[in-house]
Structure 1
């Protein structure tokens, strides 16, 4: 006779196993035996996914009623709440969402994950979580957020926003206080103005990793209070793609302010997407304000007929990171433009401890074999400050 070894496991182990299942599926384990009947209600994770209801053509209110019943039936803390919805907003109610999140907060919420299908008629949500003292991880996707005048999340360590739009045109995050934040990941986020991003970063003094990709502003000409742009002294890695940061490095007022401050004093690894919203001025500013930088990845945007690459003008100085820190530099999607070639030469000529210069051409590059050989020859003949620098050209 087969032995049910799974049921013999300690409760804590079974809770952990059930926490990986959607709560609707975990509830079905209650029919296995008396041993399993109460377990799903004691799992501190609430994971709700409406796809099973949609696939089975069930009325959507069955899904919302299940969430209400599950929350009301729990006397244990809800440390993790994951909500994934694929339904249109004609079925989904934002008022339900606020009630569920509030209920989870009252039960000691630490991790919140919400993913909604973002569309033109997406319901806006006046967030009720921005004063939660217990929240450690916050991940939101597909949401429109209303005005945020104050955000105080003392325990938050990870913040991910994907496909999120902030609606209020003024005073979005006038006071952001995220003292414990280590990881900030913003992708496809629409802010009313650049000041919003400045204020958000100003409230993250202990940030260690930052990824900014496809950040948009409704008003790019809005006045920015540069003195709010504080040094991110703990930041060690940054990934910045398609972000309109040139407004900071091209403004005379901002340049004057930066004379007295290093923005990224401990940054060691940076990845930048060059093109459209990112200029050579910004690349140089990153080098200048990152004295500990050891690894730079510069990804060139694939050329199209609407964009003209600016000319690289070698400065008369070498940033501190080039003289003592930079070990590796990579240029991705290299197309043989004169500006790319001059930048690569500048790095090799001024980086005293550089170990590797990697140049990767476009996979489907229009460069002919003889042109690639000529570029390789020119780069190979370029003087190098580092005696151990190796050139990799693919």
Structure 2
């Protein structure tokens, strides 16, 4: 212990920041050197999930009051069955005196059946917050002005909003004037939000996850974020997503949408009327990297469609990303308008049958194969007739192709050697193309 005590205060405080607060406070009994050190710890973690209610509340109250650090970098509450709603305003006021920068309020839904209600003081008193995470809690409406002037990162996971939630969400986000990162996880109609509107000019990153296990036709997202650089939406339940304006700064987007009305989704995303299943009337001139999942049958049709509307594509990856039905995945970098996971209910798909003769017509070869595609990576190659013809078509038409890497799924050595031989003998549009097998 003497050797540990010889370390500088800054290093000791970093070590203590990794421990729950009950252990941090207990260090005051080690020696005079440690008596007041715990009061300056910059990151505090309070975990009441397995504590006695009265003892925990008293401990938290006193430790926050005695805490002397001028700035609390992070204050993390892991709340369980012992936490009382009336305690939260006291804790928030006590923490606010140290200008807390990051706050996490996380309810353990398994240990506590009733949710925690976040007090109104959070909206008005924590003006120095830069990062806020709310997990499994209830928010109440506030007649006073919501004010987060410094908030740059906001995480809302399984939050129940005051009814009606649509207007509350608009008010909450509109008062986060410098917000850059937003993460939202929704699980169903009980959140009181029908249309989740994200209209924040400063946003650079959005992650939206919708986990409901059944489809609700009248629920939707509206996104208007002209400064957005990163977008990820995971929704396998048909919640409609509407992107109101272009996002010229977008660098990457990953959108997973399971939907039986792809024309409706595309119309919302592209702002163009769509009659066809796939976006044949759209063009993605900024798309340089594309990943398509080969788990389900329509991937061949979607691949050909996307190649035709992506004239500057450089990197193409085919992979079994999901290994489940109704999911196709597209990764776009960068792109103004994006869409994916389109599985039509009624559509004829070729799998082990020869591809249509139009694939062999030079006039229909996608522009990207002739002028821009440089890399092909195919993971989980099964060696079906359709798969081999797609590979041969790309090798034959890829005038700029530099490398094609094939990862075979089969464990049959003879079958694998046969596939390698067949693809190796395929004509290549690029003399410098390197064909690799694994």
TM-score by length of 1: 0.73
- Do the aligned partners of residues 277 and 182 (structure 1) sit closer, same or farther apart at CA in structure 2, a change above 3 Å counting? farther
Larger gyration radius, structure 1 or structure 2: 2
For 2:307, which of 348, 364, 367 is the aligned residue? 348
Deviation at 1:330, TM superposition (A): 0.8
Q: CA deviation at 1:218?
A: 11
Once the two structures are TM-superposed, the CA of residue 280 in structure 1 deviates from its matched residue by: 5.8
**What is the 5 A alignment of 1:261-280?**
261-262=245-246, 264-276=247-259, 279=262
Q: Given the alignment of the two structures, is residue 152 of structure 1 paired with residue 147 of structure 2, yes or no?
A: yes
C-alpha distance in 1, partners of 2:276/2:130?
43
- For residues 361 and 247 of structure 1, what CA distance do their matches in structure 2 show? 25
CA contact (8 A) 2:237 2:258 kept: no
2:76 maps to which residue? 82
Alignment map for 1:180-199 (pairs within 5 Å): 180-188=178-186, 191-195=191-195, 197-198=196-197
Structure 1: tracts of 5 or more residues without a match? 290-310
CA distance in 2, matches of 1:284, 1:330: 22
Question: Is this contact kept in 2: 1:354–1:386, CA < 8 A?
Answer: no
In structure 2, C-alpha distance between the alignment counterparts of 1:218 and 1:68, rounded to whole Å = 44
What is the CA-CA distance between 1:364 and the residue it aligns to? 6.2
Question: TM-score, structure 2 length as denominator?
Answer: 0.67
> How far apart, in 1, do the equivalents of 2:404 and 2:146 lie?
47
1:386 to partner: Cα distance: 6.7
TM-aligned CA deviation for residue 344 of structure 1 = 0.9
Q: Quick check: 2:39–2:67 contact (8 Å CA) kept in 1?
A: yes
Tell me by how many angstroms 1:125 deviates.
2.8
CA drift of 1:211 comes to 0.7
Identify the range of structure 1 (126-135 vs 208-217) with the bigger mean alpha-carbon deviation: 208-217
- How far off its partner does 1:184 sit? 0.9
> In the TM superposition, what is the alpha-carbon distance from 1:238 to its structure 2 partner?
1.0
1:365–1:108 Cα change, 3 Å? closer
Deviation at 1:107, TM superposition (A): 2.6
For residue 247 of structure 1, report the CA deviation from its aligned partner. 3.8
The answer to whether residue 202 in structure 2 is matched with residue 206 in structure 1 is: yes
Residue 388 of structure 1 corresponds to which residue in structure 2?
Answer: 400
Which residue is 2:386 aligned to?
375
Question: Is 1:114 the counterpart of 2:105 in the alignment?
Answer: yes
Q: CA deviation at 1:65?
A: 0.9
The counterpart of 1:140, out of the listed 93, 114, 134, is: 134
Structure 2 portions without partners, runs of 5+: 326-350, 353-379, 408-438
The aligned length equals: 339
SS at the partner of 1:69? Answer: helix
- Does the alignment pair 1:47 with 2:39? no
Cα separation, partners in 2 of 1:273 and 1:20, compared to 1, 3 Å: same
The 1:30/1:362 distance shift into structure 2, 3 A limit, reads closer
2:317 to 350, 358, 365: 358
Q: Is the contact made by 1:193 and 1:220 (CA closer than 8 Å) also made in structure 2?
A: no
Structure 1 SS opposite 2:77: strand
Shift of 1:39: 0.4
Structure 1 match to 2:287? 326
The answer to whether the 8 A contact 2:117-2:137 is kept is: yes
Residues 1:34 and 2:32 are matched in the alignment: yes
User: How far apart are 1:146 and its partner, in Å?
Assistant: 2.2
Q: Which residue of 1 aligns with 2:6?
A: 8
| Contact 1:356–1:392 (Cα < 8 Å) also in 2 | no
Structure 1 residue 392 displacement after superposition: 6.2
Structure 1 residue 214: deviation in Å? 1.3
Displacement after TM superposition at 1:281 (Å)? 4.7
Q: How far did residue 382 of structure 1 move? A: 5.3
RMSD over aligned Cα, in angstroms? 3.6
Asked if 1:337 is matched to 2:297, the reply is yes
Which of these residues, 229, 242, 262, is aligned with residue 236 of structure 1? 229
How has the CA–CA distance of structure 1 residues 120 and 392 changed in structure 2, closer, same or farther, with 3 Å as cutoff? farther
Q: Which secondary structure does the structure 2 equivalent of 1:184 belong to?
A: strand
User: Is 2:288–2:314's contact at 8 Å kept on the other side of the alignment?
Assistant: yes
Which of 3, 15, 21 is matched with 1:23 structurally? 21
**1:163 maps to which of 141, 145, 158:** 158
Q: 8 Å contact 1:182–1:206 — kept in the other structure? A: yes
Distance in 2 separating the partners of 1:277 and 1:145: 34
Equivalents in 2 of 1:268, 1:13: separation in Å? 38
